[in-house]
Structure 1
Amino acid sequence: MEEQNPASQSHRSTEQLQDNAELEHQYGCEHYRRRCKIRAPCCNQIFSCRHCHNEATSSLSNPKDRHEIVRHDIKQVICSVCNTEQEVAQVCNKCGVKMGEYFCDICKFYDDDTRKQQFHCDSCGICRLGGRENFFHCEKCGSCYAIDMRDNHSCVENSMKNYCPVCYEYLFDSVKQAMVMKCGHTMHMDCFKEMSKQQQYRCPICSKTVMDTSEYWKMLDEEYSAIIGEVSFDRLRLFKCPSNTSMRSPSSAMTATALAKSPFTLLGTSANSAPRIIPEGLQEPVAKMKCLSISKRYRQRTCDANLV
């Protein structure tokens, strides 16, 4: 028997792998690589996946015809290799090809790219990405979160079952990456980045600060010190306020409140109605001008109830 050349055998194996890779990428769509299509039960049309269906129907001219598919209602699929329509299953009942390396019989979901580490969450009722061991399901928030957020986030009831406050896309089953802010509300990561580029640092829902603004307050404190000059910071009080007045600290900005202490300046609930106290050593006109200037710069430090 003729001895096989290991080099040629290796070459044939490489060619076979390349052919298989090309075969895999012949099928599917821009959303998923799979060897089947679905028949939508809502309109009886054939699409590569549910996203293709939703994109096509959302652009229909008649608003009454626009709709989204319910993934769990899919009953029929069409094998892309032999074009055989059949009931939902992982393996084609005619040609025997596996229509998806990952298959979920509940979601009727197929995908060849297992690097995504797909898994089905029974509590969510849908498939997620990233590996089951890396996520936990928060019952109050109603969604799967990264494992390092367990007991380390503010729970808001059904926070993920809402629309992104920026782009208004439904977050729960969105394919875009979402994030949980310090206040517990959620939004798309891309939308959050765009919001921060516009210097918007507050949650669009509750107006609480969602990022560290200590550097910003430090800059304002430096400006304040430059305006006051040699006047003692501890002796300066711009407005008299009630003893029970509370205000935000510079480090936590709009998220927390603390009892008024001497390092803070604007303590009055209303800059217009609070009685002014002229610091010792300043003349009345000069003090008024400086107080007004500082009042504008520190307006966000007043005890405004609608921002708490």
Structure 2
Amino acid sequence: MEASANQRLDFGKMGYGCEHYRRRCKIRAPCCNEVFSCRHCHNEAASALRNPGDRHEINRFEVKQVICSVCDTEQPASQTCANCGVNMGEYFCDVCVFYDDDTTRGQFHCKECGICRIGGRENFFHCQRCGSCYSINLRNNHSCVENSMRHHCPICFEYLFDSLKDTTVLKCGHTIHLECLTEMTNRNQYCCPICSKSVFDMSKAWQRLDEEVEATVMPEVYRHKKVWILCNDCNDTTEVLYHILGHKCAHCQSYNTRTIAPPILPQ
């Protein structure tokens, strides 16, 4: 009997779903009363509507009704179908109304985030100040920025907090999609798009620039000209000799600087 019950629960496992999730149910969207395989399917369809006024996203917490994909029975959201008895998702969260048969993704619900995450609870911790779950490798090893994940990616502008794409935390504490960071560096952009601090250790690049500056003699008219610079990496301001290739911060040795107006001295 126990084997028979388990077979009924497992019937159709990994055989239903969409490109986002394998699950044995569909959801009825509370916003438009239409049926979709998951909220992402709904959001993609809604964003493609011709009339901008009709575009909208589903509120995952407001989903109340689901339709079993095995027997087509519509019912209140729960893990097991009230009619045929199958598990509509091996993983089920009654808070997010989230179903997924592929448990290798390591789904878990974070109470502080208020949503389900993937990757295994043991591999993440919730940073209260940043307002999101981060890899345990970043515990006591990242710069905190208030609610840094509750913003849009500075490159593609997708909301990061519940994005399906991999997200990374920069040295400065700001966050960005990993694929967007890769695209940015492929285009030789190495500064945070938000605060302009260097994304990587640039010391070797600065050494090469030192050699180029040393080898490039400025014309006599510019040789003794000085400019004030602000360092994007350490925020220090200094007066340095003008050079067409770049201006080196006297404090942290970074060339990630910009020229500014001279400071106004008190009278």
| Same fold, judged at TM 0.5 (above) | yes
Specify the alignment match of 1:288 in structure 2: none
Match of 1:130 among 119, 128, 135: 119
The range that moved more, 148-157 or 52-61, is 148-157
1:67 matched to 2:40? The reply is no
Length, aligned pairs only: 241
1:256 matched to 2:234? The reply is yes
Task: Give the superposition deviation at 1:304.
Answer: 3.4
RMSD of equivalent CA atoms:
2.4
Match of 1:179 among 168, 173, 176: 168
Looking at structure 2, the residues matched to 73 and 240 of structure 1 have their Cα atoms a distance apart, in angstroms, of: 62
3-state SS, counterpart of residue 296 of structure 1? coil
Looking at structure 2, the residues matched to 38 and 259 of structure 1 have their Cα atoms a distance apart, in angstroms, of: 57
Alignment of 1:195-234 (within 5 A): 195-227=184-216
Match of 1:146 among 131, 135, 144: 135
Change (3 A) 1:178 1:305: farther
Task: Give the superposition deviation at 1:247.
Answer: 6.9
> Going by fraction, where is strand more abundant, 1 or 2?
2
1:297 matched to 2:252? The reply is no
1:161 matched to 2:150? The reply is yes
Looking at structure 2, the residues matched to 109 and 74 of structure 1 have their Cα atoms a distance apart, in angstroms, of: 10
Task: Give the superposition deviation at 1:258.
Answer: 6.6
Q: Is contact 1:104–1:110 with CA below 8 Å preserved after alignment? A: yes
3-state SS, counterpart of residue 240 of structure 2? coil
Q: Is contact 2:71–2:84 with CA below 8 Å preserved after alignment? A: yes
3-state SS, counterpart of residue 267 of structure 1? strand
**Equivalent pairs: percent with the same residue?**
59
Task: Give the superposition deviation at 1:162.
Answer: 0.5
In structure 1, stretches of 5+ residues that fail to align are 1-16, 229-236, 249-253, 261-265, 272-294
Match of 2:19 among 26, 30, 45: 30
Alignment of 1:70-109 (within 5 A): 70-109=59-98
**CA displacement, residues 20-45 of structure 1 (integer Å, 9 cap, x when unaligned):** 79x43431000000000000000000
Change (3 A) 1:160 1:305: farther
> Going by fraction, where is helix more abundant, 1 or 2?
1
Decide which structure has the larger Cα Rg and report it.
1
**CA displacement, residues 191-248 of structure 1 (integer Å, 9 cap, x when unaligned):** 00000000011111111111122222121122233346xxxxxxxx95568xxx8875
Q: Is contact 2:14–2:102 with CA below 8 Å preserved after alignment? A: no
Q: TM-score, normalised by structure 1?
A: 0.72
Deviation >6 Å, runs of 4+: none
**CA displacement, residues 149-180 of structure 1 (integer Å, 9 cap, x when unaligned):** 11211111111111011101000000001111
Q: TM-score, normalised by structure 2?
A: 0.83
Specify the alignment match of 1:251 in structure 2: none
